[in-house]
Amino acid sequence: MGRGDVKTKKGKIFKGSFGKVRPAKQVKNTTAAAGKAAAGK
């Protein structure tokens, strides 16, 4: 359970991959984009 373990958050940061433990930023962008669209109208 360290940098070499891809199933952990630390391991994914070390490898540079995304998944269930370390989701990509796209998850946050959906709510932010919806908020900006509502604010603009």
- Are the beta carbons of 22 and 12 closer than 8 angstroms? yes
The model's pTM: 0.51
In 1-41, the DSSP E strands lie at none
Q: 4 burial class (0-12, 13-18, 19+ CB within 10 angstroms)?
A: exposed
Confidence (pLDDT) at 25 = 83
Contacts of 24 (CB under 8 A, 6+ apart): 18
Confidence (pLDDT) at 1 = 82
- Are the beta carbons of 40 and 33 closer than 8 angstroms? no
Q: pLDDT (tens digit, 9 = 90+) per residue, 9-32? A: 999 999 999 989 989 986 555 555
Confidence (pLDDT) at 17 = 92
